[in-house]
Chain A
């Protein structure tokens, strides 16, 4: 029996806005489930319905098999970590962490013991008598975690708990939160708009957009086999290069802008559905790391590779790798609302512009801005999408 199960959970606000549409989700015991998507996609609303802070319009929510739709938050046996931490400013760290136990009328000695254990786990012992106002952002975040874990709840809910931290601390806490969750083995729902957190922390990821779950699977599966354009573009940083292209008669040749790329027959054998797109437009996706400057030794035979050309606009040397920003004359496709910080993008539709792309290449590669480069990619690593439905061609 799953600790949390959402069955066609729907939220419609009084003004008619549908924030979440028929959300189905099962979180297994000890599973770390991530809800990811751009702002306004309904992920926080979905979580707040689980917490009981938001009324459920329709659908069924079960925690440990019991229907929880009309149960008040305090009786759901859940713990939540808020984005702004929501620490009680008039209580000390110890009182904050012990508050839920106090409300459950736990004996004083036991509260003290548990609070001490929790502060030890989180390295907060020396701050136990401080008030939240006297703590740094990272410490406050830890207190918020402490308040959740001390209760040993059935379910953890975390609403973008790391988004208020600076970049370095975020990386550190990312690992720490994941470690604590593994150690406690409590089913967790974690909301974020950061696809890196989604990739690295969770057992499974549900990618959401506009109130809908587009794909829910293991992070690597989502990365390797995105079901549609949005998921393909959202997961991965830098995001997947998406170009509009045209297939020739018999789907043997790809026209990328003015460039003509002959596809080896293996491509069509691997994805027979490409045959339906003969003489039609298709969206081609290439992950930046699948690209290399022609001639680079990648351990692949040159006859297995295909090539296309572009102009280098910008070179970002990151030390361990180089990001080469290039442009071609093919049209670039952007999935709707792909950028997490752009809520308006949700309604903007797909935007096409001059085909800019990014290649992530090895640091030894010699490229200069303004250079005309030949890029290589193994056609096995190409993704194809139906330009009208946005769905990936999986077979």
Chain B
């Protein structure tokens, strides 16, 4: 009886897990297979049917050369905006977290509270005031209008604060001061090198957020040559006959081409994840163990 129960509960849990796996994995497999097929095959063939390399090359050629390499331009724009924002975010958030964790100053608690507050505020809510601000200084339509708002990353400050207050003992900094460091040296030679996992963590989260951000660049950048990938893709979607049969007749972009564009949009996140992965795990565990 007991054995039966155990087998039954095992089986049930496997069924549930498999169902969820299928639900999430099937679309990804479909997407990876899509560029190998023709538009017609995609619709009428079995979803897991294999296509041909010829189809892939054709779709890739069409997609990349479309409108004078627009896809690569969007990719470049996305990279500039994302990494530009990350660099400024790192330069600001790591020292800020360190300061909040290891120095005493008037308003420290308030600042920490404000950091938490803006962290939970949805980024979209700020888009309109940011637009008005950018407009006032005539920055709308320039890369800065995207990079500067991207560099505002309170979550990074919070992560750095948590890391420094839980994983870097005050005595370590005191030891450095006695060993001859001034405050800048303490940060640069001790606190900063120790923050490597946190830098990876902030980079990863900021990258995902910036790369996928749609609304802010959509509002800030009126000109299609400045588009980052998500907006370019959206533009493309609305112009294809597959999604918009009425007016998209002339654009030679069909579903296999769109699948390639989507994969290109996803790939950098995967690549950054692979690089950051090792540090990510140790970063997430930081503070769990005491040295």
Answer yes or no: A375 CB below 8 A from chain B CBs.
no
Contact string against B for A residues 83-117, beta-carbon threshold 8 Å, 1 for contact and 0 otherwise: 11011111000000001100110000000000000
Chain B residues lying within 8 Å of A52, measured Cβ to Cβ, are 177-178
Asked if A80 contacts B291 (CB within 8 A), the reply is no
Asked if B181 contacts A84 (CB within 8 A), the reply is no
A86 and B180 contact, Cβ closer than 8 Å, known pairs A103-B185, A133-B291:
no
Q: Which residue of B lies closest to A100 (CB)?
A: B179
Asked if A88 contacts B176 (CB within 8 A), the reply is yes
A178 and B189 CA atoms in complex are apart in Å by 32
Give the B-binding residues of A (Cβ under 8 A). Answer: 51-53, 72-74, 76, 78-80, 82-84, 86-90, 99-100, 103-104, 132-133, 147, 151
Q: Which residue of B lies closest to A53 (CB)?
A: B174
Asked if B174 contacts A73 (CB within 8 A), the reply is yes
Answer yes or no: B182 CB below 8 A from chain A CBs.
yes
Chain A residues lying within 8 Å of B189, measured Cβ to Cβ, are 99
A52 and B179 CA atoms in complex are apart in Å by 12
Tell me the minimal C-beta distance from A102 to chain B in angstroms: 8
Asked if A99 contacts B179 (CB within 8 A), the reply is yes
| With A52-B177, A74-B177, A74-B179 already in contact, 8 other A-B pairs whose C-beta atoms are closer than 8 Å | A53-B178, A73-B178, A79-B178, A90-B193, A99-B189, A103-B179, A103-B185, A132-B291
Asked if B178 contacts A80 (CB within 8 A), the reply is yes
A52 and B194 CA atoms in complex are apart in Å by 24
Answer yes or no: B175 CB below 8 A from chain A CBs.
yes
Chain A residues lying within 8 Å of B182, measured Cβ to Cβ, are 72, 74
A132 and B175 CA atoms in complex are apart in Å by 15
A86 and B171 contact, Cβ closer than 8 Å, known pairs A103-B185, A133-B291:
yes
Answer yes or no: B169 CB below 8 A from chain A CBs.
yes
Answer yes or no: B219 CB below 8 A from chain A CBs.
no
Residue A82 contacts which of B175, B190, B193, B291 (CB distance < 8 angstroms)?
Answer: B175
A104 and B181 CA atoms in complex are apart in Å by 9
Tell me the minimal C-beta distance from A1 to chain B in angstroms: 23
Chain B residues lying within 8 Å of A78, measured Cβ to Cβ, are 178
A104 and B178 CA atoms in complex are apart in Å by 12
Asked if B171 contacts A74 (CB within 8 A), the reply is no
What is the total number of residues of chain B having a CB less than 8 Å from a CB of chain A? 18
A82 and B175 CA atoms in complex are apart in Å by 8
A107 and B185 CA atoms in complex are apart in Å by 19
Answer yes or no: B17 CB below 8 A from chain A CBs.
no
Which 3 residue pairs spanning A and B have beta carbons closest together?
A103-B180, A100-B179, A86-B175
A86 and B178 CA atoms in complex are apart in Å by 12
Q: Which residue of B lies closest to A14 (CB)?
A: B104
Answer yes or no: B172 CB below 8 A from chain A CBs.
yes
A370 and B181 CA atoms in complex are apart in Å by 64
Chain A residues lying within 8 Å of B171, measured Cβ to Cβ, are 82-84, 86
A52 and B180 CA atoms in complex are apart in Å by 12
Asked if A80 contacts B175 (CB within 8 A), the reply is yes
The A-contacting residues of B in range 130-173, CB under 8 angstroms, are 169, 171-172
Tell me the minimal C-beta distance from B87 to chain A in angstroms: 22
A90 and B190 CA atoms in complex are apart in Å by 8
Q: Which residue of B lies closest to A140 (CB)?
A: B291
A103 and B182 CA atoms in complex are apart in Å by 10
A104 and B180 CA atoms in complex are apart in Å by 7
A84 and B169 contact, Cβ closer than 8 Å, known pairs A89-B194, A90-B193, A133-B291:
yes
Chain B residues lying within 8 Å of A80, measured Cβ to Cβ, are 174-175, 178
Tell me the minimal C-beta distance from A49 to chain B in angstroms: 13
Chain B residues lying within 8 Å of A90, measured Cβ to Cβ, are 193-194
Asked if B185 contacts A73 (CB within 8 A), the reply is no
The A-contacting residues of B in range 13-71, CB under 8 angstroms, are none
Chain B residues lying within 8 Å of A151, measured Cβ to Cβ, are 179
Asked if A147 contacts B174 (CB within 8 A), the reply is no
Chain B residues lying within 8 Å of A84, measured Cβ to Cβ, are 169, 171
Chain A residues lying within 8 Å of B169, measured Cβ to Cβ, are 84, 86
Contact string against A for B residues 173-204, beta-carbon threshold 8 Å, 1 for contact and 0 otherwise: 01111111110010001100110000000000
Asked if A89 contacts B291 (CB within 8 A), the reply is yes
Most buried by B among A51, A52, A99, A133: A99
